[in-house]
Chains A and B, each alone.
Chain A
Amino acid sequence: MKTELVVECRDLTKNFSGVKALDCVDLQLGRGKIIGLLGPNGSGKTTLIKILNGLLEPTFGEVLIDGEHPGVHTKSVISYLPDKTYFADWMKVNDIFDMFGDFYKDFDREKAEMMCASMGIGLKDKLKTMSKGTKEKVQLILVMSRRAQLYLLDEPIAGVDPAARDYILTTIINNYNEEGTVVISTHLISDIERILDEVVFIKNGVIVRHEAVDDIKEKEGKSIDDVFKDTFRMVPFMGVNGYDR
């Protein structure tokens, strides 16, 4: 039986040699949603995602994915887009598809091949000959071709131009498994706020807000981008000459 929540974190804490990257995070994410994990650089977004998919062990606290602790089952239901590509240069698109087909039961190869065709990527193309942007597209195709319960996308639009951003976002919203949940971490909010159901604001390892996007807009009459800027506003150092003396 499926649990109601796809992600449940209790008291989740992660220390890196004494520095708290996550501090007592309680987080519950439902199914069938697109959720933005939003925070400035260094706020703990990647750490949280890596704990959810089992790449990092929490120092303290508990995570349940699809009702279970990170392990074999949770890896089979999570589709993860890392912030860096990790495939060997000599591989061809076909080789990677073979690998994914072996690893993941829910990998839909036919869909992956169709997505490649629509993006003009040949199945025999070598990664070595691809631009950075094309490599990222291949990676996205792999991630979105799985019928996962939880998609964890770490900065999927960070390194690309605005036209490619739209393309990537459209690919995400048209291809995810609708019973699953998509978590997108980013600091580029104005580009993605329209596709989000909920946002999670993270600041210095603490979840400071978790709410439905339309509720926030209704209450505050502001875009998520503006609310984000208000939440994370930093006081710039004015320099010696900036102060009244």
Chain B
Amino acid sequence: MGYERQKDFGTPESRSTEQVTLTIDGRDVTVPAGTSVMRAASESGGKIPKLCATDNMKSFGSCRLCLVEIEGAKGTPASCTTPVAPGMVVHTQTPRLEKLRKGVMELYISDHPLDCLTCSANNDCELQEEAANVGLRDVRFGYDGDNHLALATDHSNPYFDFDPSKCIVCSRCVRACDEVQGTFALTIDGRGFASMVSAGQDEDNFLSSECVSCGACVQACPTATLREKSVKAIGLPERAVVTTCAYCGVGCTFRAEMRGEQLVRMMPWKDGKANRGHSCVKGRFAYGYANHKDRILNPMIRESIDQPWREVSWEEALSHTASKLKAIKAEHGPAALGGITSSRCTNEETYLVQKLVRAVFGTNNVDTCARVCHSPTGYGLKTTFGTSAGTQDFDSVMDADVMMVIGANPTDAHPVFASRMKRRLRQGAKLIVIDPRRIDLVRSAHIEAAHHLPLQPGTNVAVLTSLAHVIVTEGLANEDFIRARCDWDEYQDWARFVSDEKHSPEFLEAVTRVPAEDVRKAARLYATGGNGAIYYGLGVTEHSQGSSAVIAIANLAMCTGNIGRPGVGVNPLRGQNNVQGSCDMGSFPHELPGYRHIHDHEVRALFEKDWGVALDPEPGLRINNMLDAACDGTFKAVYIQGEDILQSDPNTKHVSAGLEAMELVIVHDLFLNETANYAHVFLPGSTFLEKDGTFTNAERRIQPVRQVMEPANGYADWEVTQLLANALDAGWSYTHPSEIIDEIARLTPSFSGLNWDKLLEVGSVQWPINEAHPEGSPVMHVEGFVRGKGKFVVTEYVPTDEKTGPRYPLLLTTGRILSQYNVGAQTRRTANVMWHEEDLLEMHPADAENRGLKTGDWARLASRTGETTLRTLVTDRVAPGVVYTTFHHPSTQANVVTTDFSDWATNCPEYKVTAVQVMPSNGPSEWQEEYTELSERSRRIDPAMEPAE
């Protein structure tokens, strides 16, 4: 499409079902009750001038430009704050209004620079547009009075500027920060003529303030006061393409606003069903990695990892790789090969990688990063509900009365959804947080959790069972729901189990370190507070009992009847942009696309017929088992697309030993990531801006990804996989991802109704999408559980084998931060490093004092597995005895310290519990120094040789 600003109706949509008919400028208009006159006019094709109104925040009524006349009413009310009424007769353009508006506009322009031709908002400025609309030709007051034109611009933020000389004090930025983002970083400082938008205190600028750079204020600004630096540098976009963000499982939709093949800016799409027009600092601004100088654009090979890389043609790279794979297969059999699909790539690319492994390599050794994040969600929810995906859409949170957030930090990891949560909390919903850290949701502007249960890491199951104990023993269970929807006998067995005194909060307090009375109050609130919605993250799954904790969560939801309608449910907050999709596409070693086991001969026969090959009927290896098998000498080659297992997976030394033991490691990525230090072939990847396809977010929402520029490396990732397959004689002939979607739909019943054209037409759809659900499925388990009765399962608390003791007295838990994403491969190559340039070790003041550590000091972090050093941040966000860090930076490699312990059912690593000791240090550990040297040596590149004449 060409470029035009997104439609703005001025005020939010009314959710009323009652309809009201009124007359606007002689036309009958029918709209929902509660709609503003401004919006009614806009919806019926009219346009009332406005400056302070915009439709993603409440009307404000300050600019006095949207005045209208209403027959029978006195004065000229603001149309943004006046609701429609039956029979109302409205005039939006009269001589009186014309005069009033022109006078208002004169006042604005008398204190505004007249530099339109050189202004970055020229032709994209609402003030300029409304000045034209009201017919402003002169300013009677002149331009010589007191004004703000000499105010200096704040350039501190890396992504946008704040130029107060162009501010009209409409407060849209302040309200966007409050109402849309929920951070309350901005305010109007001063009064009257001295009124100014201010970020934080007098000494603050935008960078030093509490601003989280979500971009909502920039998006809301009607002038060039808050403006993207990229627009100032490049100019206005000339076209916009709706696509899906490649960060995090929220799956925000954006307009990639382009000028030629240059991306001018990413603007949140107001019709996006996951983000509803909002964004975070990553999706909105942190796309610079796509053109970063570190990006590798040519294929490279080397015989051994101590050699420099040699740039080669695609033909040579593929033929070399195929020849090596064939030789290994011939000597060691297909089980010596494997692949890892990427949760950052599209569904179609992921599907092709697993097809390559199964149909061309001839093995089921395929796995994906869900192994190390939400595999326990799959196991736990499938056990209890019969199906594992999140039960709700994101909109559901606006109907929640009580939110229970367990082991998740949404403001950092899922920030756009966190803003929706905060909005609902400000409306009065109650919040329970179960987390060892005092995450921002516990207490931030206008938000305060009713209960924070700061449990000891590793005791989720004990806390969840004690919550169930209170609900059952205090008679708060919803027996009507249980009898109707669940297996009653199993419930009774479970109720007897949780009612045992050994599961009481009082008995378990010694283990969980959560005051029993707080557990009781939280349980009562969740059971009796209305719609109860549970949101959880990796703080639940990444434990030795991750699957049991998910089961315990499902038990809680079922016993309180919080399933099957808007406002309730069990909602795993998934990490990466397409982790749901990568699972759907058959990335696990035991199952084919559509969650059908490889043992099932009918399922195999379906794929064998379509793919024209025989499939191995036995499950393959999980990632960690691939590494074990590599060390044992039975696993020799791996194709890794878009994952950096050396940095992301636990026990780095084990990962490196496994990789080093292999004969052929093929890394397909944008950058020479840490895993590539051990690779023999590097195939350059493409960014989400360079290809078509689909991502599936945490709501099961399948959304289109659109190519807005040619792949800088020459090929989209699905094309690279196809080239590799064909070098292995597969004979694939896809010409566009839509053909891969057709194959997925043909072979996968839950996607049978999906095709590319339909997706582009409807924008997005939540699976299952098939004959029974042609428009998809927003809320699951509405009438009954998808697979029969809900199943209560006993969850015995089995403590982890990872124990603290005299040598390792502290517990380390890891996580992530707002400005960085996963291993940081993308975000570290953007200006986001200004907020987080290194991983820090958070430590309670008491623990720090005992060790003589202050904020900024180097600390040695050691576990039974390994050690690293990093700087200390002393904070009471963590409890005594607990330390916390992130894993975004390879120079730290927090996973050198984490262990091989994993979830009992799925082998999801126990990242959240590692016994450690922390001591002062002078600088990097021996391992870090060795790794730095290895990394530098491994990244040497010999340029391609010119072909001989």
Query: Do A and B actually bind?
Result: no
| Interface residues in chain B, defined as those with a beta carbon under 8 Å from any beta carbon in chain A | none
| Interface residues in chain A, defined as those with a beta carbon under 8 Å from any beta carbon in chain B | none
